[in-house]
Structure 1
Amino acid sequence: MRNSTCLLQPSLATTVALPVIYSFLFPAGSFGNILTAWIFSRQTPTKRTQYIYLANLVTANLLICSTMPFLAAYFARGYQWTYDSVACRTANHLGTLIMHVSMYVTIIILCSIALSQYATLKKNGDTQYSQAVNDKFYRCVLKKFRQPKFAKYLCIIIWLTVLCITVTAIAYSVQAREEFPGCYNIMVEAGEFTTMTAACLATACFFLSFLTVLLSYYSLTRHLSKIQKNTCIGEKHLIYKTVKRNILVIQMILTVCFLPYHIFRPIFYALLTNNDCPRLNYLVEIKNFLTCLAAAKSSLDPVIYILLDKTFKKSLYGLFTKSTSEHHKRKADIFTEETPEM
């Protein structure tokens, strides 16, 4: 990779489509997540474990949204920038740092939410489920994910760990200005050994989180199937369906938004060569579109919060119904003021 002389030539898909997509995602994601943060700060109880996880997701989403204008500019004009320019360094170093830190914080926290949801079943005291889940494992691990204090410390550790790994990878990356004076180049897009090592760790982290959520969903589905065969699902067991739906939502997010990128990433590094410029261009553009798909998840999260958190749903519904009732009340007051007395 270090001796590659291939100059990347972005196609219209990169210079037009990606900037347009990021330009649409930025206002949608910013508005939705700012509204979500406002609702959390005013109407959601801060001591709930679920709130702590969701609040960290909102923070990560807002950080991802903050990089979208820089990414749009980079893909639209990055091939014209010099590597030493302020715009190039801002888009590549600061933008890459924020994007990847927020992405993997999101993935790990989604896994934590799934485990927290999974642990609610044991909390409800179902004897059959108590037999299905190892009590010692629950006491040592699962129960912790429902404790607010543990959730706070866990989120802090996640942020610090991901930040340290990403900063290290960027700090030790070999600068490319001597070989590639342009900003849009293979060294920026692929990196070298340190970047690849960090990418391997990140990919392993994703698949570990993905399999954890998948195993939780499989275990819950299997247990539900046994209950339905042996007993009638009563009101007490309706919690299972809610938890199953929540874990399924998380599994779908990981599958649709993040899985394609992490499947392609090892393929991307395996296929990189020093002398096949057309293939390098295709590989880089596919990688960038899959990264965009992962970033798009931040704009969809307000919908996800509605599915995962009933308190948030009620708060959002109350916000809009309150606004509507106040609007009608103002109209009625105006009508009363303008109508002469009989």
Structure 2
Amino acid sequence: MRNSTCSLQPSSATTIALPVIYSFLFPAGSFGNILTAWIFSRRASTKRTQYIYLVNLVTANLLICSTMPFLAVYFARGYQWPYGSVACTIADYLGTLIMHVSMYVTIIILCSIALSQYATLKKNRDTQYSQAANENFYRCVLEKFRQPKFAKYLCIIIWFIVVCITVTAIAYSAQARAMEENHRCYSMSVEAGQFSTMISASLATSSFFVSFLTVLFSYYSLTRHLSKIQKNTCIGERHLIYKTVKRNILVIQLILTVCFLPYHIFRPVFNVLLTYNDCPRLNYLVEIKNFLTCLAASKSSLDPVITLLLDKTFKKSLYGLFKKSTPENHKHKAGTFTNETPKM
């Protein structure tokens, strides 16, 4: 890259604040996600669509948490490491691979969960009205997201595609960096990447906005339909599921907006401004990018808290783990997490 000769000088925000944040997120996220995985393994039905999506989501969260100690050390000492050292290689290649793969797997699975929930209500609504051919096709496509077999294959495909794109970008970047003279690990070559990194970042940003707009459309469509129901008739008990699903899709939308949207708005701006040889400004751009990446990574630590607050079934299961097991508990254990409507 043209700006690879610019020497980055990390501020105390990078060398102190980021390591402290990652050091706090790591134990909180690891404990919460391990506890969530344990509860799912004991109480959830492995043949349910919800279980498949949530297991993959928890796996992605744990992988992100596993990179946090390396990132904390990298931001604290990376400017002192020689480029090509073992510590630099682990933080650069392995950390980047795990972080970005898990991040975009999380985003796409969140979108799939939203579609799965929306499909449940779409099915309930469509049974009351005759549908045109295109509406039937649309409903059939949505219905796939509720099928366990489809969910399993979808998650495998998501992991495979994201890993392939990320590994390819990293491999090309490694070849380009081999021809450069990098003296420190914390450098423009590592932080900004090469041309292949920009291409993969553009694809990733596009996939995020597709997922973001899909969830937004689902929430808008559901809100509009719920508004019509409220105007025409009184919402009965069987319609309460609309409010529950509306809340859960809203939570997914908020997660995408608060944790991921700032990074994906800034990333194209970051790539454009890299063309200017202004080292002080490049230092600020890199630090902003790293803090927005940290914001995106914090989602993996917040997931268990969000699940505990919003999912009554998860809350009851967590509470039940600390109570003495009774025959009545065993009787209801098999029914836990069996609702076809996935919950956050």
User: Partner residue of 2:194?
Assistant: 192
User: Partner residue of 2:57?
Assistant: 57
Q: Give the TM-score normalised by structure 1.
A: 0.90
C-alpha distance in structure 1 between counterparts of 2:270 and 2:142, whole Å:
36
State yes or no: 1:180 paired with 2:182. yes
User: Partner residue of 2:289?
Assistant: 287
Shift of 1:272: 1.0
| Aligned amino acid, residue 196 of structure 1 | M
Q: 1:179 to 1:2 in 2, by over 3 A?
A: farther
User: 1:239-289: CA deviations, max 9, x gaps?
Assistant: 100110010000000000000000000000111135200000000000000
User: Partner residue of 2:137?
Assistant: 136
User: Partner residue of 1:269?
Assistant: 271
CA contact (8 A) 1:257 1:296 kept: yes
CA contact (8 A) 2:28 2:301 kept: yes
Shift of 1:125: 5.0
State yes or no: 1:74 paired with 2:81. no
Shift of 1:305: 2.5
Q: 1:142 to 1:85 in 2, by over 3 A?
A: same
Alignment of 1:1-342 (within 5 A): 1-2=1-2, 4-124=4-124, 127=127, 134-139=135-140, 141-173=141-173, 174-175=176-177, 178-306=180-308, 309-322=311-324
Q: 1:57 to 1:95 in 2, by over 3 A?
A: same
| Aligned amino acid, residue 278 of structure 1 | P
C-alpha distance in structure 2 between counterparts of 1:102 and 1:237, whole Å:
35
Q: Please, which moves more after superposition, 277-286 or 41-50?
A: 41-50
C-alpha distance in structure 2 between counterparts of 1:307 and 1:251, whole Å:
16
Gaps of 5+ in 1: 324-342
| Aligned amino acid, residue 38 of structure 1 | W
List 4+ stretches of structure 1 deviating above 6 A.
none
C-alpha distance in structure 2 between counterparts of 1:188 and 1:147, whole Å:
42
C-alpha distance in structure 1 between counterparts of 2:129 and 2:252, whole Å:
22
Gaps of 5+ in 2: 326-344
Shift of 1:2: 3.4
Shift of 1:314: 2.4
Q: What is the DSSP-based 3-state SS (H/G/I as helix, E as strand, rest coil) of the residue aligned with 2:208? A: helix
Q: Please, which moves more after superposition, 5-14 or 37-46?
A: 37-46
Q: Give the TM-score normalised by structure 2.
A: 0.90
Instruction: Name the larger-Rg structure.
Output: 1
Q: Please, which moves more after superposition, 174-183 or 209-218?
A: 174-183
Q: 1:129 to 1:314 in 2, by over 3 A?
A: farther
CA contact (8 A) 1:261 1:290 kept: yes
Shift of 1:97: 0.2
Q: 1:160 to 1:130 in 2, by over 3 A?
A: farther
Q: 1:318 to 1:86 in 2, by over 3 A?
A: same
Q: 1:286 to 1:130 in 2, by over 3 A?
A: farther
Shift of 1:176: 5.5
- The aligned length equals 322
Q: Please, which moves more after superposition, 245-254 or 302-311?
A: 302-311
CA contact (8 A) 1:214 1:251 kept: yes
| Aligned amino acid, residue 270 of structure 1 | V
| Aligned amino acid, residue 280 of structure 1 | L
Q: Please, which moves more after superposition, 2-11 or 20-29?
A: 2-11
CA contact (8 A) 1:74 1:88 kept: yes
C-alpha distance in structure 1 between counterparts of 2:295 and 2:55, whole Å:
22
> Identity rate of aligned residues, in percent?
83
Shift of 1:303: 2.2
| Aligned amino acid, residue 138 of structure 2 | F
